[in-house]
């Protein structure tokens, strides 16, 4: 992708798309023309963000921080590839990111390491007064969710939760349909994260089996969670899109959750059947805690229920399994499934193909920038996500998916773990807005 000017694309958006989300692409910045960004954690995902942001004019990536020299080398290659100035590198030790925050006079920071670092790094970045973006994860405790909210409120520093699936083309089309009342008043929604990650969890980078210190990329840290935890470990790719449709924290809120898990079989079987594994492999002997399929039911203040599934270990195709169901209609949509029933339009008791509906309600941003977005990753949604981050940081305005949304969605993980431990007992989901949800207005993609 060629370098292009931020302001040029912005004026195109304003000219072409009346409904386009102006906050994604509006010109101008309170901070002047150049946004100074630093990146913490430049592994596989962090490098996606680096790549998307260094091609934007008006953005200067001044520093990166990663404790893995390999990740640093791979990141530096991107700067050569796109012919931009090399950043300053930090990463001598696990807290080097603090030196970066202190010394670099950053306007914004993107945080994308493994999960355990998300909260401490966000807290330090907000304390430093740097507009903060953080990759998705579930929390370890409710306390850390409150820490995010309290630190934001005390420092006034904004935090953007980088939930990219909210920007998926079909998701934004269905959001438009919800807002146009195609399904009537909402009753029930479904979503989840079903992604066979077994090969990722044991990847040693060489065709063998390893996790922990000898693992490659996510195998270094993600697999351990499967060994020790049982809950919805990754709720936000499903819940993020649904949260925009139900106006979560903006006229509605999540109230309670109850979670159940199946037995755990698939990781053991994977190792036992792997050419480099076998029945006697040490990993086959491990007592994996994570149930293969974890199912939560969430209730909302406005009377909807949401079913959320987590499954990253079974043999199955990728799916986020979206369903939106109102009193006047229902849609199932995902890769491979697009079916809809709208009362009064669709023949009674039958489904129709949802694709014409998705096309009709295609969001103006996608119509305008769909082609340009394609190279950015994950089918283009990362283009909109990263541009939103840049624009919100430039303006220093509250992000559309903010600290309250981050706290709420991340809280699902510890709450689901607690529920499973208590045999499915209902857990109350804290109101992280402390009542502000009643007056906050929907903003996403408007
Ligand atoms: N939104 C998406 O579509 C998407 C896709 C993949 C991953 N993710 C999320 O992105 C995050 C990173 O995932 P990944 O696949 O890039 O993992 P990864 O293991 O490839 O990269 C993590 C990087 O963080 C670095 N790191 C760890 N501790 C650090 C510290 N103290 N200081 C500096 N660097 C440190 C590691 O060295 C590594 O390079 C996770 O939260 C993951 O869930 C999101």
Give the mutation target among 76, 119, 135 for probing the ligand 1 site: most ligand atoms within 8 A of CB. Answer: 135
Q: Give the distance (Å) from ligand 1 centre to CA of residue 265.
A: 27
Q: Which of 163, 192, 223 is the last residue of a domain?
A: 163
Instruction: Answer yes or no: is the C-beta of 117 below 6 A from any ligand 1 atom.
Output: yes
The string of pLDDT tens digits covering residues 254-278 is 999 999 999 999 999 999 999 999 9
The string of pLDDT tens digits covering residues 397-435 is 999 999 999 999 999 999 999 999 999 999 999 999 999
Q: Give the distance (Å) from ligand 1 centre to CA of residue 47.
A: 9
In a domain, 413, yes or no: yes
Q: Which of 142, 163, 184 is the last residue of a domain?
A: 163
* CA distances, 289 to each of 63, 234, 417, 426 (Å): 39, 15, 11, 21
In a domain, 387, yes or no: no
121 pLDDT more than 70: yes
Residues 236 and 188 in one domain: yes
**Considering only CA atoms, which of 21, 443, 23, 20 is closest in space to residue 251?**
443
Q: Which of 163, 185, 217 is the last residue of a domain?
A: 163
**Distance from the Cα of residue 426 to its chain's centroid:** 25
In a domain, 396, yes or no: no
What number does the ligand 1 atom closest to the CA of 48 have?
16
The string of pLDDT tens digits covering residues 157-214 is 999 999 999 999 999 999 999 999 999 999 999 999 999 999 999 999 999 999 999 9
In a domain, 334, yes or no: yes
Higher-pLDDT residue of 181 and 15 is: 181
Distance between the two ends of the chain, CA-based, in angstroms? 28
Residues 146 and 240 in one domain: no
Mean pLDDT of 114-132: 98
In a domain, 12, yes or no: yes
Mean pLDDT of 134-162: 98
CATH number where 237 lies: 3.30.360.10
Instruction: Answer yes or no: is the C-beta of 124 below 6 A from any ligand 1 atom.
Output: no
How many domains is the chain partitioned into structurally? 2
d(CA 107, CA 24) in angstroms, rounded, equals 17
Tell me the backbone φ, ψ of residue 186, rounded to 5 degrees: -75, 145
Instruction: Answer yes or no: is the C-beta of 333 below 6 A from any ligand 1 atom.
Output: no
Q: Give the distance (Å) from ligand 1 centre to CA of residue 133.
A: 13
In a domain, 385, yes or no: no
pLDDT band at 32 (very low <50, low <70, confident <90, very high): low
What number does the ligand 1 atom closest to the CA of 115 have?
41
Mean pLDDT of 206-228: 95
| Residue that is written with structure tokens 């969001």 in the block | 363
Residues 199 and 298 in one domain: yes
DSSP state at residue 440: P
Residues 95 and 200 in one domain: no
The string of pLDDT tens digits covering residues 275-332 is 999 999 999 999 999 999 999 999 999 999 999 999 999 999 999 999 999 999 999 9
pLDDT band at 381 (very low <50, low <70, confident <90, very high): very high
Are the beta carbons of 24 and 388 closer than 8 angstroms?
yes
d(CA 28, CA 436) in angstroms, rounded, equals 29
Instruction: Answer yes or no: is the C-beta of 97 below 6 A from any ligand 1 atom.
Output: yes
Mean pLDDT of 52-60: 91
What domain range includes position 175? 166-363+403-438
In a domain, 70, yes or no: yes
CATH number where 38 lies: 3.40.50.720
Residues 234 and 341 in one domain: yes
Structure tokens at 307: 């079913």
CB-based contacts of 166: which residues, under 8 Å, 6+ apart? Answer: 172, 240, 241, 243, 244, 381, 385, 401, 444, 445
Are the beta carbons of 321 and 192 closer than 8 angstroms?
yes
Give the mutation target among 40, 43, 91 for probing the ligand 1 site: most ligand atoms within 8 A of CB. Answer: 43
Structure tokens at 151: 């630190």
In a domain, 446, yes or no: no
């Amino acid at each position: 992708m060629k370098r292009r000017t931020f302001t040029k694309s912005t004026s195109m958006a304003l000219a072409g798309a009346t409904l386009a989300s102006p906050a994604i692409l509006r010109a101008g910045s309170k901070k002047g023309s150049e946004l100074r960004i630093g990146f913490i954690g430049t592994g596989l995902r962090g490098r996606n963000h680096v790549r998307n942001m260094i091609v934007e004019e008006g953005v200067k990536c001044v520093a990166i921080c990663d404790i893995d020299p390999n990740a640093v080398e791979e990141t530096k290659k991107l700067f050569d590839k796109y012919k931009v100035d090399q950043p300053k590198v930090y990463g001598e030790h696990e807290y080097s990111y603090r030196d970066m925050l202190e010394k670099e006079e950053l306007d914004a920071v993107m945080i994308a390491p493994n999960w355990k670092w998300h909260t401490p790094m966000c807290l330090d970045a907000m304390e430093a007064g740097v507009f903060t973006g953080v990759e998705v994860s579930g929390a370890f405790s409710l306390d850390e969710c409150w820490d995010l909210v309290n630190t934001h409120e005390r420092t006034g520093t904004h935090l953007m939760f980088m939930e990219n699936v909210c920007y998926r083309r079909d998701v934004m089309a269905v959001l438009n349909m919800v807002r146009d009342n195609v399904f009537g008043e909402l009753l029930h929604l479904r979503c989840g994260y079903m992604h066979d990650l077994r090969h990722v969890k044991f990847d040693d980078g060489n065709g063998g089996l390893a996790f922990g210190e000898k693992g490659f990329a996510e195998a270094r840290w993600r697999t351990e969670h499967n060994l020790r935890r049982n809950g919805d470990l990754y709720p936000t790719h499903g819940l993020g899109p649904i949260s925009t449709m139900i106006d979560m924290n903006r006229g509605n809120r999540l109230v309670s959750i109850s979670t159940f898990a199946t037995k755990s079989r698939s990781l053991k079987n994977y190792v036992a059947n792997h050419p480099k594994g076998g029945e006697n492999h040490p990993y086959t002997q491990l007592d994996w805690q994570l149930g293969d399929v974890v199912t939560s039911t969430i209730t909302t203040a406005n009377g909807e229920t949401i079913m959320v599934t987590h499954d990253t270990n079974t043999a199955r195709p990728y799916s986020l399994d979206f369903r939106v169901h109102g009193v006047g209609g229902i849609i199932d949509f995902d890769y491979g499934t697009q079916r809809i029933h709208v009362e009064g339009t669709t023949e009674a008791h039958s489904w129709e193909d949802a694709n014409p509906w998705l096309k009709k309600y295609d969001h103006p941003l996608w119509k305008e920038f769909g082609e340009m977005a394609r190279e950015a990753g994950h089918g283009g949604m990362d283009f909109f996500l990263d541009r939103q981050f840049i624009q919100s940081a430039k303006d220093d305005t509250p992000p559309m998916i903010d600290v309250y949304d981050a706290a709420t969605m991340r809280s699902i993980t510890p709450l689901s773990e607690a529920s499973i431990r208590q045999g499915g007992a209902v857990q109350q989901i804290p109101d992280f807005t402390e009542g502000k949800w009643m007056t906050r207005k929907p903003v996403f993609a408007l």
